[in-house]
């Protein structure tokens, strides 16, 4: 089993419950007590969004490497309004 070094960034990817081909990738900063995320689809634009998200974190935290962990768990939104905002499906694209 590969261990993640302290100098690495760990991004977790989970599928969104009830939304086939849609995912949330997130990074939790213990220092800031905050979680940063990107909502993306399983297509080329989603791959670009995920890549930009990981590059942004590497630049911000001056890290050398990003490790991705694909979780078997699904993200379930308790609030439909939050899902609308996260996915951009309110028409604000």
Please tell me the predicted confidence (pLDDT) of residue 87: 84
Q: Quick one: what percent of the chain has pLDDT higher than 70? A: 88
What is the pTM for the complete model shown? 0.82
Beta strands (DSSP E) in the chain are 8-16, 22-29, 34-41, 65-75
Please tell me the predicted confidence (pLDDT) of residue 91: 59
Q: Where are the chain's structural domains?
A: 8-87
DSSP tag of 90: T
Mean pLDDT for 14-31 is: 94
Token pair in block for residue 54: 């990981």
């Amino acid at each position: 089993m590969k261990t993640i070094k302290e100098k690495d960034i760990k991004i977790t990817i989970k599928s969104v419950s009830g939304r086939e081909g849609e995912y949330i990738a997130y990074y939790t900063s213990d220092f800031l007590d905050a979680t940063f995320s990107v909502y993306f689809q399983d297509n080329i634009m989603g791959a670009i969004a995920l890549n930009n998200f990981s590059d942004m974190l590497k630049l911000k935290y001056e890290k050398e490497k990003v490790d991705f962990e694909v979780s078997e768990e699904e993200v379930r939104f308790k609030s439909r309004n939050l899902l609308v905002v996260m996915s951009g499906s309110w028409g604000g694209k």
